[in-house]
Structure 1
């Protein structure tokens, strides 16, 4: 599809993510502030941590009119849930993602010289902030969240959390070079025990 054939998606006016720019106008320098609480859609989640679907995201944004479009800045704040990357214990945290993106006017140079998915767009005097917020939130999530900075994780032998084990917790380890000999010793002992009692008496 050529650049001229590409069209940005039309925003759903009823969506809480969509903000009208009509009151802002196109004169550079105009500003308006907005505060909204938006339920998180699916997908605001990395592998082990994120914002559960339906949980509130607090948006505080400022719209500024510029010659090329509308610049949106502000923050998105939400509570996170997940599990520790080391010990798998449930954890809770918060994220405050900083926002900053230009939404281009349909007749601007920015609109004409960029691909549809490279920049936000003003469509019928509306902007959809969901993708901008999603990108900022996901970039702000920790890749390996921890229940505490010094978490030691799980014991590799029994799988229990080190934090729940005694300080001297340990497991007997057998050198692999002797493991087969110990197995032979066990089988020999079992064979002797199962032998005929009379035969054992003669041997004594």
Structure 2
């Protein structure tokens, strides 16, 4: 198993005959910047990745399996949490000449969305980072919760509602009417 910070895989060892097959087992060290607004894959984390490459017409079929955890905070109570993720995906990386042919034939619109554009083999290498980023971060929960029924925080005191007694309450008196309260209090004799 190779430990690396790069997700560039060389195709030099993969024969060009259709059906040729090669496997890689990688421990990837996550760089900075792998996060959504609420979850992150921490920099320096080691992620195991299994890669299977198969030569196909005009490119390489890339199959990737991996797993790990994203770290973040519950959006209701702000407690730290982990969200497991699993990747089991496949995509074809095309040779540059094949992509040019697809554009000429009108099968690919290179002006379209980036996710609609074909993945390209550049200088006999494939870059797995966009594939993993698309799979891991796009599938991440936008509103992670520590528990499905998390109550959140008290809007007045900011304490976690699950830790407070059932009868927890705050008097909410409009400051403009606070003077009227003195009229309801018994007068001291």
TM-score, length basis structure 1: 0.75
C-alpha distance in structure 1 between counterparts of 2:78 and 2:153, whole Å:
9
Q: Which protein has the larger Cα radius of gyration, Structure 1 or Structure 2?
A: 1
Question: What residue number does 1:64 align with?
Answer: 54
Root mean square deviation of aligned Cα: 2.6
SS in 1 for 2:138: helix
Indicate conservation of the 8 Å contact 1:62/1:73, yes or no: yes
Question: What residue number does 1:6 align with?
Answer: none
User: Which one has a larger percent helix, Structure 1 or Structure 2?
Assistant: 1
Question: What residue number does 1:183 align with?
Answer: 179
Question: What residue number does 1:77 align with?
Answer: 67
Which structure 2 segments of 5+ residues have no match?
Answer: none
Indicate conservation of the 8 Å contact 2:94/2:119, yes or no: yes
SS in 1 for 2:48: strand
Which structure 1 segments of 5+ residues have no match?
Answer: 1-13, 190-204
- Give the number of aligned pairs: 173
Indicate conservation of the 8 Å contact 1:75/1:99, yes or no: yes
SS in 2 for 1:107: helix
5 Å-filtered alignment, 1:21-170, equals: 21-109=11-99, 112-113=102-103, 114=108, 115=110, 118-170=117-169
C-alpha distance in structure 1 between counterparts of 2:168 and 2:96, whole Å:
66
Q: Could you list the structure 1 runs, at least 4 aligned residues long, displaced by more than 6 angstroms after superposition.
A: none
TM-score, length basis structure 2: 0.80
C-alpha distance in structure 2 between counterparts of 1:34 and 1:50, whole Å:
26
User: Which one has a larger percent strand, Structure 1 or Structure 2?
Assistant: 2
